[in-house]
Structure 1
Amino acid sequence: MFLNRFNFRRLRLTLMLWAGLGVAAGSSCSKETTPQPEAPIAVQTHLVNSTLIGEYSPSVVASRVSGIPLVGALVRYPIRVYKLTYTTQNTDGQQVTASGALLVPVTTQALPLLSYQHGTISPDGEDRSPSYYSASSEVYSAVSVLASTGYIVSAPDYIGYGASKALPHPYEHAASLASTSLDMMRAAKEFCEKQKVGLNKKNFLLGYSEGGYATMALHKLIEEKFPTEFAVTASAPGAGAYHKSAFADYILGSDQNLSFLSSYVWVLDTYNRVYNINRAPSYYFNQPWATQLQANPFSDVPEKPSELFTGTFRTSILNKTDAPMTTAFRDNDIYDWKPKAPVALFHGTADDYVPYFNSEDAYKAMRARGATQVTLHPIEGGNHFTSVARYTLEALGFISQY
């Protein structure tokens, strides 16, 4: 877990853009396998508790995006916002209590369920996790407008935030991001059944940055393991790091300054722990940063890979001789599979935080497997932060077709 303050400010800008918008709206050589439907499972309760945070009129929701012309006109229903707590599994298989926000339009009409996966939240930004429903969070404004247009929104905090804030967040770990989000959907469904809230059969998935990665992982998990429980209607992941192994090669083979290295250190720390590799920081990082990161995991790091990472680590990844970490990267590659539901991949072509090739590789790999409903939506000239506006507007436009 090693993000420096500069990059957190940039990530915070992304969240502010989300809030201000108000939501107007090389492949691997692994063989394709046919996803098998899940075996019948015993009834299992995921929902632990629900607490009403508040009810908000259309005018109140619209006022949160008053600075954006015409966006407030999209607001339709009052919404009730709840904090849900539910059971899920941590990366070690242990059951934990997690949390999230559920946004419910006030109407008798049966509405779609939309799982919204949030972007990176810094360690000092706990109050921006969905279940806090604070004014600084994207859920408070952007996602509230989305809900008011007619979606029941399930917004998981993820492990490491909200009810599970005492645990480390498994940053960019596909399996746990997907399972925690799916269990939140299950809890949302249980809540709706108990409260007689009408759900139709449509299920949408949205998210940007880490949320885009989580959205892709969730879509893959549902279609491959639980296709009869939640049939995905469509998903629109934005700017996710789907091709982890190629991303590693890109970073460790670069001689250029890379503004996102502190975020990448967080990824390494997560995989080092989750996959029980358990190496000391001195294996990965040159001094004095190894000692510095050991003492303060969120301290600043240099932007040049050759300055930060040891030659041993760089060479072993590029030559594929570091079996444990190479396996971890490949385990988190989620770009090469065959989705059945429509997928719209959004990404800025000038993204210097999560390179565009992640979405391009996913598009090519999926199409090569015969996924005919996958589309690539380049945001020309957009970087990781300036692309948020286009993503937000166009993602809503995309799912509105279904």
Structure 2
Amino acid sequence: MAPSLFELSPMRFHPPSLLSTLAVCALVAACGGRSSDPVATPSSTLIPVPDPTVACSILRVTPDNAIKQTFVDPLMTIVYAAPSAGACGDLTLQDSSRSAVAATVVASSEWPNPQGGYIGTRTIEAAAALNPAAIYSLRWNDKTISTFKTGTERRGAVVSVTEQALQLPSLPDAAHLGQGDINDVLDSLAELMAKGNDIKKALFATVLRHELPNIARPDARFGASIGKLAYRSADARGNPVTLSALLIAPEQSPGGTPVEFNGMPIVVGQRGSTDNNSDAPSSGATTMAIPGLIAAGKGQVFVAPDLIGLGDSKALPQAYLVAADTAGQTQDLLRAVRAHFQEQYRSTLGMDLRLFGGSQGAHSTIASLPYLAREGTVRVVSASQGPYDVYRTFHGALLALGGAARDAYAINENLDFLPGRTRDVMTSFQAYGNYAFDAKTVFDADGKILPSFLADYKDGKVKDFVRQLGANSLVTGSQVYDLPQAQVQLYHFSADTLVPAQNTVDMLAALADRKHRFASIQRGNCHENSELVKLIVRLSKSSTTTHTICVAFQIDDFVGGL
């Protein structure tokens, strides 16, 4: 059975689908109308100003020193510690004769570290493609920090595009679906819920048609072709790797409207977290394909990256909540998609981009914004349940687990999930952030967090972990977003027990700062005061229902705007 679209929790934890709880409504006479969510107050907008006691030091540089076969057009990233904002200078590029090479800034942020100094992340790329098989150096703080050699490949090169049969119930097990199949996509959700019981399927379908009108009535103008796209991207060291993604494109139905790919908008969907052995979006076996089918039916190209550690790269560790890697790999996918349509159809896809994601996928969506803005015009940003402030998400929970009073981030959190999430993020930072991680000093034999680690964390002794959390936090850094056409909607159930809703409250407040430009910024409506949602929360036996409950409304709103 394919996992639900709404299973978007952190790695190795898979809560039951939101849709399985909607059966509650099918058993009552009235579900009540939709209503607005309660208003929440932002927490302190900035971490306290740190003391300038940390010398300039490097946490990570990409391409790593002595890499011999990086791309001709590599992304170059440094993660560093600094005593104060801007104290360590810019990241610059030189050729083998030590002449400066023009480069542009892709993303840049400095995060005020409460333990002292700032944690910076800066990504640049050359203004023009570098020479193949040539030596270049990165300089920072008046020192050469990496010398690498380019190869002959370019980021985003297409490796292959193969047909991928869809594997969802009530829909054909095929790589080509017609308009009618897309218009009946809601039946697939109902059958996933019913698990073979026809009576329950009919009840669920009735409820979903009432609550999710845009998914229930896609009004498809086209059919859809489903495929897996393999493309070249980079790991954290700068080595080329092959990654995979789901690709769903509009297709002419018999007697239907011809497809014109020139100028066609692109939708980028970011998955929630899962373990390496689970179905990837590119498999066609996850319900990530459902919004993809609707997008294709409405005349838009849909892509969803597996990201490193899933799909074709499942033998590698995942870059869980590692912002720079997720962003770079998504940018490379967008380049690959454009290249494929140019080569296969002699068509130039449009510049309009619409983005959505949930949980880890919400973090991926916001992290990718500066990168994707270089590839097109971002029109819509829809994200739900994101751990945007990675530091405060873990900080509040770790202190609470150690016995401290719960802060705004830990107030509703189920601390039983914290050990697994902590191990996952530490493993990710070890693989992609040069974080020295010894599990025996953090976890006992049963996987629980050791009291000694909690005490050290409380006393400010776990400095390297805090630096990694800060490097991947998106709320309190100095990154500036210039997306004047983008309509931003962030969703979060106020009593989410898995990812604190304060993330979304604070992210919205941060994005409203005048240094950014957006067309609009608003909180998406989870309809949590509706009778339906109240019944689900009250009667569900799952403590994680509050983490998944918004996603159905988010996706319904999103596809309604396509």
TM range (shorter): 0.7 to 0.9
- Shift of residue 114, structure 1, vs aligned partner: 1.2
Among 355, 372, 376, the alignment partner of 1:230 is 376
Letter in 2 for 1:8: F
- Shift of residue 318, structure 1, vs aligned partner: 3.6
The 5 A counterparts of 1:206-285 are 206-223=356-373, 227=374, 229-255=375-401, 257-261=414-418, 262-285=420-443
The 5 A counterparts of 1:373-388 are 373=518, 374-377=521-524, 379=526, 381=528, 383-388=546-551
Q: 1:77 to 1:99 in 2, by over 3 A?
A: same
What SS class does the counterpart of residue 84 from structure 1 fall into? strand
Q: 1:172 to 1:379 in 2, by over 3 A?
A: same
User: Could you tell me the percent identity over the aligned residues?
Assistant: 22
Cα separation, 1, equivalents of 2:126 and 2:10: 46
- Which position in structure 1 is the counterpart of 2:329? 180
Q: Which has the higher contact order (CA 8 A, sep 6+)?
A: 1
Q: 1:16 to 1:233 in 2, by over 3 A?
A: farther
Letter in 2 for 1:366: L
Tell me which moved more, 186-195 or 71-80: 71-80
Letter in 2 for 1:165: K
Q: Check conservation: 1:259, 1:353, Cα contact below 8 A.
A: no
Q: Check conservation: 2:227, 2:248, Cα contact below 8 A.
A: yes
- Shift of residue 174, structure 1, vs aligned partner: 1.3
- Which position in structure 1 is the counterpart of 2:503? 358
What SS class does the counterpart of residue 377 from structure 2 fall into? coil
Q: Check conservation: 2:17, 2:548, Cα contact below 8 A.
A: yes
What SS class does the counterpart of residue 186 from structure 2 fall into? coil
Q: Pick the structure with greater CA Rg.
A: 2
Among 465, 470, 474, the alignment partner of 1:325 is 465
- Shift of residue 220, structure 1, vs aligned partner: 3.2
Among 264, 272, 275, the alignment partner of 1:119 is 272
Cα separation, 1, equivalents of 2:269 and 2:527: 25
- Shift of residue 247, structure 1, vs aligned partner: 0.9
Q: Check conservation: 1:100, 1:156, Cα contact below 8 A.
A: yes
- Which position in structure 2 is the counterpart of 1:47? 158
- Which position in structure 1 is the counterpart of 2:14? 9
- Which position in structure 1 is the counterpart of 2:480? 338
The 5 A counterparts of 1:141-160 are 141-160=290-309
Q: Deviations over 1:134-172 (max 9, x none)?
A: 2xx023323212322222011111111111111111222
What SS class does the counterpart of residue 51 from structure 1 fall into? strand
Unmatched 5+ residue regions in structure 2?
A: 1-8, 22-43, 50-83, 91-103, 107-124, 130-152, 165-174, 188-204, 252-258, 402-412, 534-545
* Structure with the largest fraction of strand: 2
Letter in 2 for 1:240: G
Q: 1:325 to 1:238 in 2, by over 3 A?
A: same
Is 1:84 aligned with 2:229? yes
Corresponding pairs, count: 362
Q: Check conservation: 1:349, 1:380, Cα contact below 8 A.
A: no
Tell me which moved more, 208-217 or 190-199: 190-199
Q: Deviations over 1:304-323 (max 9, x none)?
A: xxxx3223332343444322
TM-score by length of structure 2 reads 0.59
Unmatched 5+ residue regions in structure 1?
A: 18-25, 291-307
Q: 1:273 to 1:146 in 2, by over 3 A?
A: same
- Shift of residue 390, structure 1, vs aligned partner: 1.4
Cα RMSD after superposing both structures: 3.1
Q: Check conservation: 1:338, 1:369, Cα contact below 8 A.
A: no
Cα separation, 2, equivalents of 1:16 and 1:130: 21
Q: 1:14 to 1:191 in 2, by over 3 A?
A: farther
Tell me which moved more, 239-248 or 27-36: 27-36
- Shift of residue 76, structure 1, vs aligned partner: 2.4
Cα separation, 1, equivalents of 2:382 and 2:85: 25
TM-score by length of structure 1 reads 0.81
- Shift of residue 14, structure 1, vs aligned partner: 5.5
* Structure with the largest fraction of helix: 1
Q: Check conservation: 2:10, 2:274, Cα contact below 8 A.
A: no
